[in-house]
Amino acid sequence: MPDQDDKPAETAPERPAHGRVTPAAQAAAAEREARLAAALRANLHRRKAQARARREDGEPE
């Protein structure tokens, strides 16, 4: 496995030649952040439900 940082890669919004972030790029970045946050919440809920189910079944974690 190649050397990688433990931090997730962040992609910056595309910048036009003059160095400013376009409103469309800002909106796209905000939508991406919202999608990622929702996916993380869904994953957390799913993992908690799995842990509860295992605990109720008496299986060791």
> pLDDT tens-digit profile of 6-33?
655 666 666 666 778 899 999 999 999 9
pLDDT of residue 28: 96
37, two tokens:
């946050």
Assess contact for 24 and 18: CB atoms under 8 A. Answer: no
The domain limits of the chain are 26-61
pTM of the predicted model over 0.75: no
Please tell me the distance from the alpha carbon of residue 6 to that of residue 28, in angstroms, as a whole number.
25
